[in-house]
Structure formats: C-alpha cells, structure tokens
C-alpha cells in the first residue's frame, strides 16, 4: 500500500521518476491506474448515493405536498390527476412510453445531474456519471414493504425509513462496477492515444524509447487528470457548476505530464552522454599518462641496461689489463728481471 501511495506522489510531483516506474512493466502500470480508479470510483459512488438520499428526501416531501393519491396493485401503478408530473429531479408518468420519449426524460434529468423517473411498473435512477439509467422494479419495493397494495402514505414511510438501506447498498454495487469499467476503459483508450502522440514527440526530440515504455508512462501521467475528474464529478453532484470541454482538459493535463517526462528523459540522456564523454576523456588521459610512463620506464631501463653493459665492458677491460700486467711481470721474473726483448 505504501508503494502505491508513493507512486501516486511520484506521478504528480516527481515526473523524473516516470522512466523508473515504466521499467516495472505494463502489468504494474495497469494495476496502479486500476487502484487509483477504484479509490476514485468509491468516492464518486458514495457521493452519488448521498445525492440520491438527498434527492429522495426531496422526492418524499414533494410527494407529500404535490403528488395526488396513487395505488400500486397487481404490478401496475395508477395515479390520480393529469400526467406527466414533472419536477426538477422527478418525473412521474404511468402512461406507456416509447424508447424515444423515455430518452427525452433521461436527457432532461441529466441536465440537472441526476433524477428519478417513475413509470407504471418501475422507477429509473438517472445519473450523468452512468451511461444508462438504473432500474428498480416497483415489485421489489412492494416485496420489501410486504404489502400487496401500496398507497401514497406507504411509499412515503418507506422512503423516509430504514427500508431504503438495502436499496442504497444495491445501488452502490451496481454503480461501482459500471462506473469502474467505464473509467478503466476510458483511461486505457486515452493512454493509448497519448502514448502514440508521445512516441512521435520522442522521435522529434531524438529520444529512443519503445512505445510500450511510453504507454506505461502515459498511465502514470493520468493520475492528476483522474483526481481532477473526481473533484469535478463531486462538485457536479452538489452543484450545477460545469466546465466546458472538461474532457479536453483531462487529456491535456495528462499529455503535459507525459511530454515533460519524455523531455526530462532526454535531458537525463544528454547528461549521461556528457558524463560518458568525460569518462572517456579521463580514460584517454589516464591511458596516455600510462603509455608515457611506460615509455619513460622503458627509456630508463634501456639507459640502465646500457650503463650496466658499459660498466661490464670496463670491468672486463680492466680485468684483461690486470691480467696482461701480471703476465708481463711474470715473464720479467722468469728472465731475471730484464725487460722483455733486451740483449745482454
């Protein structure tokens, strides 16, 4: 877990760590981004559940004050008065509807961020974070209330009481898996595109990197974008604040991180090459000094050998001279002390 949060910290604040993290492999990068998305999905879903709870309280109050008496019996909801009943986050219409008409209702509620559609046999939860609405059959509510016939007062009591707890839990798990799959698919698609563009940037910067390594770095580069997306989604849950072209900004932030990582990699490579060049120069200088030292030692040795040879020759000549003198002295003694060649 500590390693995971260190990676989160490095992905946001230490871009120079990207190449090192990329060497851990694609599997590790995907596991990392999946972990980030799981945490973010939990936050998003909890926010949506809270939003649903708040909206249900509003719906309960609205039903009390504005919705006419109704009855759910034998699998169908019947309501008195004119339909549809439309409020900001609630639409009630028990008439048969086409898919196109239902989609219009969904789009209208998505503009507000969320909402409920009550039909004759089911209730739909619409949330902008999900592609499609979540369905809740009214028969399930009837089973939980444990009544064959449900009236307005029964539904209000159910919404305001503990009966919705299991519904909230079910909503959480349904939303969690659907949102997580959507987030993960979106992140992988964006990473693939970013990696392709990043590969071109690397070629332009003359940085030799494999596409796989750049893809790994692209996944780490999505960290800040994903966190910003989470903050934006939470803000949207509680307010009507919107950012135009947020998806473009989402990709742009990740792209900036990726390009920065590639650029830093290039700088590191240049520094490494400079260091290697310096090392080679030092090695050459050391090699030249060694060769020069060897030459000097050779010259000194040759000189020493020459001096030794001359000394040997001198010694030899001295010995020969002494020998000759001894022979002359010996002959003189043999001749009675007369020098050699004298005639008496």
pLDDT 10s digits, 265-309? 877 666 655 555 565 666 666 667 777 777 777 777 777 777 677
Residue 42 CA, distance from chain mean position: 19
Measure CA of the first residue to CA of the last residue in the chain; give whole Å.
Answer: 125
Give how far Cα 45 sits from Cα of 130, 177, 198, Å.
Answer: 10, 10, 33
Residues 297-339 pLDDT 10s = 777 777 777 767 766 766 666 666 666 666 666 666 666 655 5
Angle at 101 between CA 77 and CA 116, to 5 degrees: 55
Cβ atoms of residues 84 and 91 within 8 Å: yes
- 318-323 long-range contacts (CB < 8 A, ≥24 apart) are none
Output Rg (C-alpha) for the chain, integer angstroms.
46
pLDDT at position 175 is 85
Q: Tokens 């596991």 belong to which residue? A: 31
Return the structure tokens found at 7: 């990676």
Cβ atoms of residues 237 and 47 within 8 Å: yes
Is the CA virtual torsion 72, 169, 227, 213 positive or negative?
Answer: negative
Return the structure tokens found at 238: 């509680």
Please name the helix (run of DSSP H) or strand (run of DSSP E) that holds residue 187, with its range, or none: helix 165-204
- Residue with the bigger pLDDT between 192 and 343: it is 192
Write the DSSP assignment of 319-330 as a string of letters. HHHHHHHHHHHH
Cβ atoms of residues 113 and 128 within 8 Å: yes
- Residue with the bigger pLDDT between 344 and 254: it is 254
Cβ atoms of residues 208 and 58 within 8 Å: no
- Residue with the bigger pLDDT between 226 and 310: it is 226
Pairing mode of beta strands 70-73, 90-92? unpaired
Return the structure tokens found at 316: 């030899």
Residue 95: DSSP 8-state: S
Domain boundaries, the chain: 2-45+172-258
Return the structure tokens found at 182: 């959507």
Residue 249: DSSP 8-state: H
SS3 of 82, please?
coil
Residues 17-73 pLDDT 10s = 888 888 888 999 999 999 999 998 998 888 888 877 887 787 788 778 777 788 888
| Distance in angstroms (rounded) separating the CA atoms of residues 12 and 57 | 39
| Distance in angstroms (rounded) separating the CA atoms of residues 236 and 124 | 20
- Model confidence at 343, pLDDT cuts 50, 70, 90, reads very low
Please name the helix (run of DSSP H) or strand (run of DSSP E) that holds residue 14, with its range, or none: none
Residue 143 CA, distance from chain mean position: 46
Q: Tokens 């000189």 belong to which residue? A: 303
pLDDT at position 220 is 92
| Distance in angstroms (rounded) separating the CA atoms of residues 250 and 228 | 8
- Model confidence at 81, pLDDT cuts 50, 70, 90, reads confident
Task: Note the helical H segments in 14-146.
Answer: 18-22, 26-65, 99-111, 138-145
């Amino acid at each position: 877990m500590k390693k995971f949060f260190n990676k989160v910290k490095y992905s946001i604040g230490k871009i120079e760590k990207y190449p090192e993290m990329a060497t851990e492999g694609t599997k590790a990068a995907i596991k990392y981004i999946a972990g980030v998305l799981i945490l973010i999905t939990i936050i998003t879903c909890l926010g949506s559940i809270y939003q649903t709870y708040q909206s249900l309280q509003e719906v309960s109050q609205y039903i009390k004050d504005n919705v006419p008496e109704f009855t759910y019996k034998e699998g169908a909801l019947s309501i008195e008065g004119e339909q549809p009943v439309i409020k900001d986050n609630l639409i009630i219409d028990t008439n048969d509807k086409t898919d196109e008409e239902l989609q219009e209702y969904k789009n209208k509620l998505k503009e507000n961020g969320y909402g409920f559609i009550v039909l004759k046999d089911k209730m739909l939860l619409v949330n902008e974070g999900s592609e499609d609405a979540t369905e809740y059959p009214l028969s399930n509510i009837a089973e939980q209330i444990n009544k064959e016939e449900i009236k307005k007062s029964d539904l209000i009591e159910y919404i305001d009481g503990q009966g919705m707890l299991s519904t909230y839990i079910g909503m959480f798990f349904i939303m969690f898996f659907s949102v997580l799959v959507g987030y993960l698919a979106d992140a992988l698609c964006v990473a693939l595109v970013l990696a392709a563009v990043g590969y071109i940037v690397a070629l332009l910067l003359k940085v030799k990197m494999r596409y796989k390594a750049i893809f790994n770095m692209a996944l780490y580069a999505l960290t800040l974008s994903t966190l910003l997306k989470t903050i934006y989604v939470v803000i949207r849950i509680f307010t009507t604040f919107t950012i135009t072209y947020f998806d473009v900004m989402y990709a742009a932030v990740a792209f900036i991180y990726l390009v920065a990582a590639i650029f830093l990699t290039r700088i590191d490579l240049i520094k490494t090459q400079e260091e290697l060049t310096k090392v080679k120069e030092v090695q050459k200088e050391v090699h030249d000094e060694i060769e020069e030292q060897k030459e000097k030692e050779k010259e000194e040795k040759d000189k020493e050998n020459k001096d030794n040879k001359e000394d040997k020759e001198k010694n030899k000549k001295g010995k020969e001279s002494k020998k000759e003198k001894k022979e002359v002295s010996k002959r003189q003694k043999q001749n009675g002390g007369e020098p050699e060649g004298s005639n008496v």
